[in-house]
Structure 1
Amino acid sequence: MRFVKAARWHARGDVRVEEVPDPVPAPDELILRVEWCGICGTDLEEYREGPITIPVDRPHPRRGSRAPVTLGHEVVGRVAVAAADGSGPPIGALVVPDVVIGCGECWWCLRHQEGLCVELAVRGQTEDGGLATFMAARARTCLVVPEGVTAAEAALVEPASVAVRALAKAGSVAGASVAVVGGGTIGQLVARVAAAVGAAHVIVVDPVAERLALARRHGAAALRPDEVDGVYRTVDVAVEASGAASALPLAVRLTRRGGITVALGIAPEPVALDRIDLVLGEKHLVGSAAHLWDDDSSVALDLIASGRVQVADLVSHRVPLDNVLDAIELLDNRDPTVLKVLVDCA
């Protein structure tokens, strides 16, 4: 039996790089040799506060998986073993795998809303993901990366998909004003995607000067939270991409009467909203979480491949797989210069 290296979540505060058996694919799955895998806030929260979605006390109801589990859902790699059923890309193709897996049978899956499946599985959370030298993925939902896009850039397709889906929740933003509360990696991507799809005006709100400067370099207006008084109730769409307790109430206040607020950030504590403003202003508040490989990820990949959305400057750190705990600590330290941390799994 061959063994591969993987970063495995065992318990809160316990992530180990260890040798595990080679993944065994189903007939419709391929095996990727992973090149890069991004670390994000979800991985950090599982390390710091988990288990949140990782199955521990009982296995996943359909997939049967349980901790320890290999983390990592922002993945890009090359096909090492093609799918036995002939589906998907050939050996050697550079691909971004889909990580969202529905049961395929429920009300939501039958309407192509797999992210809402009550038995949802996510690679890197409920079952083995891409912080490993090799991983399995459903072949037909792998997106082939076009020539001209580097593997490191392709590792940003998954977070860019989050931005694409969040804006899609508001319908078309062409000609609209968009405010993004939170200037981290996701917030920067929301701002760039909004501009790329035709938003007339984009504002990024963040307390960190470095992140405001980055937003300005890509054409957005940039304000600290204490500078937004004149913007209250003026924007068509506000996207909360921070997770801070104050961020969602601020996003709702920025939204005009009849406008749309999209909540992306996840915070453990409840937040208080101005119900009078929300109700009398007939504002729409909607959450956005999972993304779909064809509706969201393919759009994100096209935006990156065409150059309409630049992502290379969002990669602030690269670390080898053996040092994955350093990558997690980079995010945990809340250094404002840390944006996307990529793990070299090759």
Structure 2
Amino acid sequence: MKAARWHARGDVRVEEVPEPTPAPDELIVRVEWCGICGTDLEEYREGPITIPVARPHPRRNTLAPIALGHEVVGRVAVAAEDGSGPPVGTRVVPDVVIGCGECRWCLRHQEGLCPELAVRGQTEDGGLATFMAARARTCLVVPDGVSAEEAALVEPASVAVRALAKAGSVAGASVAVVGGGTIGQLVARVATALGAARVTVIDPVADRLDLARRHGAIGLTPAEAESSQDEADVAVEASGSPTALPLAVRLTRRGGTTVALGIAPEPVMVDRIDLVLKEKHLVGSAAHLWDDDSAVALDLIVRGRVPVADLISHRIPLDDVVGGIRLLDSADLGVLKVLVDCA
């Protein structure tokens, strides 16, 4: 089969590799679409970040080269040997987060915090390939009426669901989102679907602000947000820009919550006096859970409460993955979600 594998920084190759061999509790997905994520870009541009290179993953025993890709949708090609999970032919969104199952975090269903966390597409082979292995019982079945392309957005929508959950209920709340890329747009749409009273998206790109406005959000440039007297109950930083997190903290009201989503290579400074004296909460959000965050995201997409089709800006073949990664890294302001056709 074909797979887009990370070999080293700046070295991703589409090459022929053996098909995966599943464990008894795993099924094989024939991948239809897989999104290129900012994480894939970071590994290409700055890696290795999470990809095991010097020594194998402590529990999964995996080592580069690794097939990238974790925003996956496909159909079951081989059902699980142990009988768990859906049958052959079912369209599924596979879970990619794998905990050890034994540590204090896994026993509390917080697998994303596992010290030996594995993630398909980062620490072991993912979905930028013809076939992908996945734990059968954690695959979400995609109902009829939802296209495969829309289902490929379930994973990034899960990131948005989890980020907002970090702040508790947003029903009736004001939410500010710093960053109008794919994740920022999804955070805004999920917040609206969950009953937020006011949603504001902050981004320097006019087209992204227009897109947010078409879905009911207020659109502001960073300069307009800086000069605004409005504060939010919840501010989500979804940019990764060095100036984004300080702005998100400043926009958070007294006693409110700032959620950090974006990853930046260098540390950033926030106003500690503002944070402490106004008793603001600052939390991070990263991994998501298949039966909580991902199930909610799928349900919101299925019911049309979070539209996602207009976030897909580019569709490319698997052979052009490197071009897709470079497109995501370009200064092209029209790039949002790049989907790879793996069928």
Q: Please state which band the TM-score falls in when normalised by the shorter chain.
A: over 0.9
How far apart are residue 230 of structure 1 and its match? 5.0
- Matched with 2:278 is 281
Seq. identity, %: 83
- Cα distance in structure 2, aligned partners of 1:202 and 1:227: 15
Matched, 1:324 2:321: yes
- Cα distance in structure 1, aligned partners of 2:123 and 2:23: 17
**1:342 alignment partner, SS class:** strand
- Matched with 1:345 is 342
- Segments of structure 2 that go 5 or more residues without pairing to the other structure are none
**2:127 alignment partner, SS class:** coil
How far apart are residue 326 of structure 1 and its match? 1.0
CA offsets per residue over residues 166-203 of structure 1, 9 Å max, x none? 00000000000000000000000000000000000000
How far apart are residue 229 of structure 1 and its match? 3.7
- Cα distance in structure 2, aligned partners of 1:41 and 1:132: 18
1:188 is aligned, of 182, 185, 188, to 185
* Structure 1 residue ranges (4+ consecutive) displaced by more than 4 angstroms after TM superposition: none
The amino acid that maps onto 2:122 is: Q
Matched, 1:22 2:15: no
**2:256 alignment partner, SS class:** strand
Matched, 1:264 2:261: yes
CA contact (8 A) 1:233 1:257 kept: no
CA RMSD for the aligned pairs?
Answer: 0.7
1:108 is aligned, of 84, 99, 105, to 105
The amino acid that maps onto 1:263 is: A
- Matched with 1:144 is 141
- Matched with 1:92 is 89
**1:261 alignment partner, SS class:** strand
- Matched with 1:334 is 331
- Segments of structure 1 that go 5 or more residues without pairing to the other structure are none
CA contact (8 A) 1:54 1:66 kept: yes
1:197 is aligned, of 194, 197, 200, to 194
Q: For residues 146-225 of structure 1, what are the structure 2 equivalents within 5 Å?
A: 146-225=143-222
Matched, 1:228 2:222: no
CA contact (8 A) 1:36 1:151 kept: yes
1:47 is aligned, of 25, 44, 49, to 44
CA offsets per residue over residues 81-109 of structure 1, 9 Å max, x none? 00000000000000000000000000000
- Cα distance in structure 2, aligned partners of 1:274 and 1:213: 30
- Matched with 1:75 is 72
Matched, 1:36 2:33: yes
The amino acid that maps onto 2:245 is: L
CA contact (8 A) 1:65 1:127 kept: yes
2:312 is aligned, of 315, 318, 327, to 315
**1:213 alignment partner, SS class:** helix
Task: Give the TM-score taking structure 1 as reference length.
Answer: 0.98
The amino acid that maps onto 1:69 is: I
- Cα distance in structure 2, aligned partners of 1:229 and 1:327: 34
- Cα distance in structure 2, aligned partners of 1:253 and 1:286: 14
How far apart are residue 265 of structure 1 and its match? 0.2
- Cα distance in structure 1, aligned partners of 2:245 and 2:332: 22
How far apart are residue 233 of structure 1 and its match? 6.1
Task: Give the TM-score taking structure 2 as reference length.
Answer: 0.99
2:241 is aligned, of 240, 244, 254, to 244
- Cα distance in structure 2, aligned partners of 1:308 and 1:255: 26
- Cα distance in structure 1, aligned partners of 2:50 and 2:331: 23
How far apart are residue 266 of structure 1 and its match? 0.5
- Cα distance in structure 2, aligned partners of 1:120 and 1:232: 42
The amino acid that maps onto 1:21 is: P
How far apart are residue 232 of structure 1 and its match? 4.5
CA contact (8 A) 2:226 2:247 kept: no
The amino acid that maps onto 1:166 is: A
Work out the number of aligned pairs and report it. Answer: 343
1:58 is aligned, of 55, 68, 73, to 55
The amino acid that maps onto 2:203 is: D
How far apart are residue 336 of structure 1 and its match? 1.1
- Cα distance in structure 2, aligned partners of 1:222 and 1:295: 30
Matched, 1:296 2:317: no
- Cα distance in structure 2, aligned partners of 1:185 and 1:217: 15
- Cα distance in structure 1, aligned partners of 2:230 and 2:114: 35
